[in-house]
Amino acid sequence: MANRLPLEGIRILDMGQFWAAPNAGRAWADAGAEVIKVESCRRPDPLRIQARKIYPDNDPGGEHGDHWNRSGMVNERNRSKLSLALDLSHPKGRDLFIELAKQSDAVSQNYSLGVMDRLGIGWDVLHKANPKLVMVSIMSQGLTGPESSYVSYGQNLEQLGGISYTSGYPDDEKSSVGFALPDPIGGATAAFALIAALRHREETGEGLHIDLSQREAATLIIGDAIVEYSLTGQVPPRIGNHEPGSNPSECYPCEGEDEWIAISISNDAEWLRLCEAMERVNLGSDNRFATIVGRMRNRDAVDELIGEWTARFEKMELFKLLQSHHITAGAITNPRELFQDPHLRERGFWEQVEDYSCGTQEYYGRPMHLSENPYGTRTPTPKLGQHNYEILGGLLSLSNSEIDQLTNEGVIGTEPILTAEGGMARRAS
Amino acid sequence: MKNKEQPPLSGIRVLDIGREIAGPFCARLLARLGADVIKIEAPGRGDPIRGRGPFQPSAAKGESGPMHLYLNEGKRGITIDLASVSGRELFLKLVEKSHVVIENFEPRVMDKLNLAGEVLRERQASIIVTSISNFGNTGPYRDYQASELTMFSMGGHLYRSGQLGRPPIRMGGAPAEFLAALSAAYGTMLAIRSAEESGIGQNVDFSILESQVTSHAQAMVEVSYYGTEVAAGNPRGETLRGVDTKDGMAMVSAQEQQMARLAALIGAPEELGRPNPLDPGSSKQALDEYLSRWAADRTKREVYEAGQGVHVPASFAANAADLIESPQYQHRGFLQEIDHPEAGTVTVPGLPFQWENAWAPTRPAPCLGEHNIEVYSSLLDISREELTQLSGAGVI
SS3 annotation, A133-170: CEEEEEECCCCCCCCCCCCCCHHHHHHHCCHHHHCCCC
Shared domain for B315 and B337, answered yes or no, is no
The list of chain A residues with pLDDT below 50 reads: 1, 420-429
C-alpha span between A265 and A294 (Å, rounded): 13
How much is the ipTM here?
0.97
More confident residue, B255 or A351: A351
Whether the CB of B251 is below 8 Å from some CB of chain A: the reply is: yes
| Residue B222 located in a structural domain | no
A289 in Cβ contact with A283 (< 8 Å): yes
Instruction: Assess if residue B55 is contained within a domain.
Output: yes
In a shared domain, residues A179 and A275 = no
pLDDT score of B62: 96
CB pair distance less than 8 Å for A231 and B343: yes
Mean pLDDT across chain A = 93
Which of A52, A220, A241 is most worth mutating to test chain B (most B CB atoms within 10 A of its CB)? A220
Q: Please give the DSSP secondary-structure letter assigned to residue B109.
A: H
Using a CB–CB cutoff of 8 Å, tell me whether B176 touches chain A: no
Q: What is the pLDDT of residue B2?
A: 74
Which range is least confidently modeled, A173-187, B5-19, B133-147?
Answer: A173-187
Contacts of A401 (CB under 8 A, 6+ apart): none
Q: Which B residues 48-107 touch A at CB under 8 Å? A: 51-54, 56, 64, 66-67, 69-71
Shared domain check, B252 and B202 = no
Name the pairing type of β-strands A208-213 and B203-207: unpaired
**Candidates A105, A183, A303, A355; catalytic one:** A183
Q: What is the pLDDT of residue A426?
A: 37
Q: Output the DSSP codes for B72-105.
A: TTT-EEEE--TTSHHHHHHHHHHHTT-SEEEE-S
Q: Could you tell me if B123 and B31 lie in one domain?
A: yes
Parent domain of B134: 13-215+333-392
List the domain range (segments joined by +) for residue A314. Answer: 249-340
Residues of B in contact with A33 (CB under 8 A): none
Residue B309 shares a structural domain with residue B345: no
Q: Are residues B208 and B256 in the same domain?
A: no
B335 touches chain A (CB under 8 A): yes
CATH number at residue B194: 3.40.50.10540
- Within chain A, what is the greatest distance between any pair of CA atoms? 86
Same domain, B315 and B351: no
Nearest to A200 among B8, B349, B352 (CB): B8
Over residues B297-321, the pLDDT tens digits come to 999 999 999 999 999 999 999 999 9
The nearest CA of chain A is from the CA of B96 a distance in Å of: 20
Question: Are A323 and A202 in a shared domain?
Answer: no
Q: Does B17 touch chain A (CB under 8 A)?
A: no
Q: How far is A282 from chain B, CA to nearest CA, in Å?
A: 25
Amino acid of residue A366: R
pTM of the model: 0.96
